[in-house]
Amino acid sequence: MKSARLGFSRPGGSHESSRISMTTLRVLAANLMLGVAVYAAPLGLQVQNGALMKAGQPYQGIGANYFSLFARLIQDPTDTSSLSNLTALAQAHIPFVRFMGCGFWPKDWQLYLTNRPVYFQRMDMVVRCAETNGVGLIPSLFWNLATVSDLVGEHLDELGNPQSKTIAFIRSYTGKMVTRYKDSPAIWGWEFANECNLSCDLPNAASHRPAIVPQRGTPASRSERDELKFTQLCVALSVFAETVRKFDRTRIIISGNSIPRASAWHNMMQKTWTADTAAQFSEILLRDNPDPLDTICIHLYPEKKGGYPGGAPDIGKVMALAHAFAQQARKPLFIGEFGVARQAGPHTRQQAVFAEILEAIAKERVPLAAFWVFDLPMQDKDWNVTFDNDRAWMLDAITQANARLKKEGP
């Protein structure tokens, strides 16, 4: 019975099954003997009538960004600390993680290009650990999108060409990931990339071309062809979403985009930095998360001097505005990143701002959110949260917030 099979697909179509309790098996057998229809709920998260659902029930939850969960294993398969820490997150009742499901720089993709079986064996380790510990996974498949074009020797404008090598790579990698792991209960959804919208249609686009780091595999120079336009990005988003839907009919599909810049509409239409109205904010928010993507994704952080989209005066108001637009579009809101940096001020100030964000999430009944960032040593000076550092209190706050969401219900 395929609908009840758990685990992830292996090359050749075999499956690795996860354990099913004897009690569950007996219930299934009894129902079948009695002629009772048995329908397995879809795996992961789905959208039904505009609501986020899990196992047939409305869902709300706050998770973590674990950027280096897979990246650490790409670099060194003997360093399984990220798997141990994923287990610790599960024990702390953190329900899911968003992570980079790929390499960052072109050099970080070399294992995939040269030894694909080993590459996927290391991703298998992540998925198997998540299955064992009951943690959801939201892999972002093309985190640093410019890297895809670099890998195939094209400029970013080829994202807008359905026949390009860049688009072919996106289609191929997406298909391989989805077909391999679509039967795993650990996979909650599929995300495209990280904050691509922030680079689109800028008045000073030449200053926002992708980074040049030849020692990491990038080209030695960039040109106007690497100044991203949303019309180009939209093609890539559509190909990604259509490829996911070809193999996975139910799980949520996420853009990975940030909240639009406060002047994104004027950036695109007039090449100015004039602040957008609420209606223009709504237009861009929906543009950034087009069909067949079935969620609205934003990344939301405190702004020191205001400057929130749509003229919102504070983080709670802009969250409410984004959530209202998402509800009108019948797409659940996913706050893919939120958080408070050390630079926000003393410990008490950080706690107050973090509490304000969590309160807004609870008040607005935002279905899904994930804080930035867990176990990322390179950001020790600003964002990193671990069980052992002085920002561990954030994990406790998330655990308590999830308990509140569960008690109050969607």
| 8 A C-beta contact, residue 361 and residue 336 | no
Q: Which CATH class is domain 43-408?
A: alpha beta
CA distances 97 to 63, 176, 341, 377, Å, are 6, 21, 19, 17
Cα separation, 353 vs 151, in Å, equals 40
| pLDDT at res. 122 | 98
Q: Write out the chain's pLDDT in tens, 410 residues.
A: 433 333 444 433 433 334 344 444 454 454 445 444 445 789 999 999 999 999 999 999 999 999 999 999 999 999 999 999 999 999 999 999 999 999 999 999 999 999 999 999 999 999 999 999 999 999 999 999 999 999 999 999 999 999 999 999 999 999 999 999 999 999 999 999 999 999 999 999 999 999 999 999 999 999 999 999 999 999 999 999 999 999 999 999 999 999 999 999 999 999 999 999 999 999 999 999 999 999 999 999 998 777 899 999 999 999 999 999 999 999 999 999 999 999 999 999 999 999 999 999 999 999 999 999 999 999 999 999 999 999 999 999 999 999 999 988 77
Report phi then psi at 335, rounded to 5.
-85, 90
| pLDDT at res. 39 | 58
- CA contacts within 13 A on the Cβ side of 107: 8
Omega of the bond leading into 148 within 30 degrees of 0 (cis): no
Tell how far CA 311 is from the center of its chain: 26
Where does CATH 3.20.20.80 sit in the chain?
A: 43-408
Cα separation, 186 vs 128, in Å, equals 8
Q: Ramachandran region of residue 144, left (φ > 0), alpha (ψ -120 to 50) or beta? A: beta
Q: Which of 35, 43, 40 is nearest to 24 (CA)?
A: 40
What tokens does 264 get? 């994104």
CA distances 72 to 82, 261, 382, 384, Å, are 7, 31, 20, 16
What tokens does 276 get? 């957008």
Q: What is the pTM of this model?
A: 0.91
Cα separation, 341 vs 310, in Å, equals 24
